Amino acid sequence: MATSNTNAAPRDNWGSKLGFVMAAAGSAVGLGNIWKFPYTAGENGGGAFIVIYLAFVIFIGFSVMLTEFAVGRKTGRSAVGAFKSTDGRWTFVGVIGVLSGLLIMGFYPVVGGWALAYVQKVSTGLLSNPEAIGDSFGGFITNPIQPLMWMGVYLLMNIIIVSRGISGGIEKAGKVLMPILFLILIIVSVKGLSLPGAMAGVEFLFSPDFSKVDSGVVLAALGQAFFSLSLGMGCMITYGSYLKKKENLVQTTGMVTAMDTGVAILAGIAMFPAMFALGMEPAAGPGLVFVVVPQLFAEMGGVGLIFALLFFVGLTVAALTSSVSLLEVVVSYLIDEKGMKRTTAVLSAAAVMAVLCIFASLSLGGVGPTLFDTGAFDIFDLLTDKIFLAVGGMLVCIFAGWRLSREELEKEITNDGEVKFPLFGLWYNLVKFVIPVAVAIVAFAGISSGFDSGKGPIMLMGIGIIALTGLLSKKL
C-alpha cells in the first residue's frame, strides 16, 4: 500500500488489482481467522454459531465492506478524513475507528508475540514432549515477563513495516506465506480428520444445535464477522481510498469476503476434529491453536516439526499483515489530521499500544487492574469486538444510506454504470434500513444478556464512549 505521503493530493494507487485484493485480504486474514474464530466457535456451541456467523458475513459483512470501499474511494481519504470531508458532524465515526484501532492493538500484538514465541519454542524442542504442551502454553502466557518480550519484538516489527509504508516487503512475504499457511491448514485438517474419534468434532462443527443459541451467541457471531473482515473501524475505508476508479468494487469485496471466510472455516476444520480426538474441551479458549497444532504435529516426527514451524511462521506473517493495517489507521489519522511526520506518528501510536499490551498481557496472569472482574485483555476485546466494530459498521451504513445519495453511491459502485450490479437495490436497502436495525437489536439483546456474566456493564460503557465521542464531535 502506498502510504508514504498521505497528504499529497493525487493519491498513489495500488499497483495492480491483485495487489489490492491481496492487501485487503492480508488485512482480513489474520489471528481473527486462525486463533479467534475456532475458540470463539468452540465457546459458543459450534455449528449453530457458525451458521449465524455465515449469515452475518453474507448479509452484513459483504454489504459493509462494499460500503467502506465505496466511501473510501469516493472521498479518497482515510478513516477520519472520509467523514470529516463530507460532514463534520460525522467525524466522530472515524474517531471511534481510530480508538478501536488503538484498543485492538492493545491485545493483538500480545497474541502475535505468542505466535512468534511458538516459532522459537517449536524449534527448540516443544514437540518432543507432547504431554507437556498444554501446560507449557498456560505457563507461558501467565508468565509476567516472557510474553512481554515477544510482544515487544512483534510490535517492533509493526513499527518497522509501517514506518516504511506498507507496500514493501510485508506484502511480498504475505503473498508467499499465505498460500503456504493455507496448505498447512489443509494438512492439519487431513491429519486431524484421520485420528480416531475425529467425527465427533465434525459433528460439533456442522450439525447446528440451535437450542444453545442465546443473544450472547448472536452478538459474538456478529462481532466475529466484523473483526475477521476488518470492518467497522475505517480500515477498509483507508484501503479503498487507494483504489483505482476503474476497479470493480463488488467483485473485489466478494473475493476478500470469500477468502477470509474460507480460511476461518478451514481453521475450524483443522482444529475441532483433532480436539475431539485428543480429548480436549471445545471451549478450551484462547490456547486452542497453540495447543492443538503442536500436539498434532508432535506425533508426526521430523516432517511434523517442519510443518509446525511453517505453521507458526505463517501465523506470524498473517498476524503482521493484519496488525499493520490496524496501526496504519491510527498512523494515517495522526498524519492527515494532526500533521505529524510518519515516524513520529508511528512511534506515538506504538507507544500507547505498547502500554495497553503490557496491561493486557499481565492481566492473563491475574496481575493488574480489573473492571467488573474483567482484566485488560478481555476488556479491550469486549469493547472492540462486541461493541465498537458493530456499532461503527452500523454508523458507516447510516452515513452511506442517509447522508450520501443513492445516485452518488450507485455511480461509485458501478463505476458510472460500467459495472453491472443487479443487486444494487438490495444492497442499498440493506445498508440504509436493515443493517442499522439488525445491529441495534443484536447489540441491545447481547448487552442485556451480558449482565449475567458481568460483561454487560463493560459493553454498556462502550456505548457510553461512542455517545460521548458523538457529542464531542464538533471539537474533534
User: Closest distance between ligand TRP and the C-beta of residue 231, in Å?
Assistant: 6
User: Which among 26-34, 120-128, 300-308, 371-379 is the span making contact with ligand TRP, rule CB under 6 A?
Assistant: 26-34
The closest alpha carbon to 33, from 194, 345, 261, 237, belongs to 261
Q: Compute the least distance from the CB of residue 82 to ligand TRP, in Å.
A: 15
Indicate the length of the chain as a whole number: 476
Residue 389 near ligand TRP by CB under 6 A: yes
* Nearest distance from C-beta of residue 367 to ligand TRP, angstroms: 26
How is the chain split among helix, strand and coil, in percent rounded to 5? Answer: 75, 0, 20
Rounded to whole angstroms, how far apart are CA atoms 431 and 420?
Answer: 19
427, 421 Cβ separation under 8 angstroms: yes
> Residue 156 corresponds to which amino acid?
L
Nearer to ligand TRP, 267 or 305 (CB): 267
Interface with ligand TRP (CB under 6 A), residue total 16
Nearest to residue 65, comparing CAs of 377, 435, 420? 435
**Which CB sits closer to ligand TRP, 218 or 256?**
256
> What value does the CA radius of gyration of the chain take, rounded to a whole number of Å?
21
Tell me the window of 28-36, 151-159, 450-458, 460-468 that interacts with ligand TRP (CB under 6 A). Answer: 28-36
Q: Are 106 and 385 in contact (CB under 8 A)?
A: no
Q: Which is nearer to ligand TRP, 237 or 358 (CB)?
A: 237
Chain residue at closest Cβ approach to ligand TRP: 32
Task: Tell me the C-alpha to C-alpha distance, in Å, between residue 28 and each of 228, 376, 399.
Answer: 6, 24, 23
Residue 67 or 228: the one with the smaller Cβ distance to ligand TRP is: 228
Q: How far apart are CA 96 and CA 384, in angstroms?
A: 10
Residue ranges in 307-346 that form contacts with ligand TRP under rule CB under 6 A: 322, 325-326
> Does residue 235 belong to the site contacting ligand TRP (CB under 6 A)?
yes
- From candidates 32, 61, 147, 216, binder to ligand TRP by CB under 6 A: 32
* Span 251-310, contacts to ligand TRP by CB under 6 A: none
Which span sits near ligand TRP by CB under 6 A: 226-234, 295-303, 367-375, 432-440?
226-234
Which residue in the set 1, 11, 25, 30 belongs to the binding site for ligand TRP (CB under 6 A)? 30
CB-count burial class (<10 Å; 0-12, 13-18, 19+) for 211: exposed
Smallest separation, CB 323 to ligand TRP (Å): 7
Bin 282: left if φ > 0, else alpha if -120 < ψ < 50, else beta: alpha
Judged by DSSP in three states, 281 sits in coil
Query: Pick from 1, 3, 25, 27: which binds ligand TRP (CB under 6 A)?
Result: 27
Minimum distance, C-beta of residue 23 to ligand TRP, in the bound complex (Å): 11
Q: Are 105 and 346 in contact (CB under 8 A)?
A: no
Applying CB under 6 A, which of residues 133, 141, 187, 233 lies at the interface with ligand TRP?
233
Q: Nearest distance from residue 151's CB to ligand TRP, in Å?
A: 16
Q: How far is the CB of 207 from ligand TRP (least distance, A)?
A: 26
The region of 13-21, 62-70, 110-118, 222-230 touching ligand TRP under the rule CB under 6 A is 222-230
CB of 331 to ligand TRP, least distance (A): 13
Which residues are CB-neighbours of 43 under 8 A, at least 6 positions away? 220, 282, 283, 285
Residue from 11, 21, 23, 33 touching ligand TRP (CB under 6 A): that is: 33
- Which of 90, 227, 290, 311: binder of ligand TRP (CB under 6 A)? 227
How close are the terminal C-alpha atoms of the chain, in Å?
27
Torsion angle of C-alpha atoms 19, 17, 94, 58, degrees rounded to 10: -100
Contact pick of 78, 91, 228, 363 for ligand TRP (by CB under 6 A): 228
Segment interacting with ligand TRP, rule: CB under 6 A, options 30-38, 39-47, 371-379, 453-461: 30-38
Residue among 29, 110, 68 nearest 381 (CA): 110
Q: How far is the CB of 74 from ligand TRP (least distance, A)?
A: 20
Non-local (6+) Cβ contacts of 169 within 8 A are 161
Any contact of residue 31 with ligand TRP (CB under 6 A)? yes
Amino acid occupying residue 232: G
* In 364-423, alpha helices (H): 376-381, 389-398, 406-413
Instruction: State which residue, 73 or 191, has the beta carbon closest to ligand TRP.
Output: 73
Residues 60-89 that bind ligand TRP (CB under 6 A): none
Q: Which residue ranges make up the site for ligand TRP (CB under 6 A)?
A: 27-28, 30-33, 104, 227-228, 230, 233, 235, 322, 325-326, 389
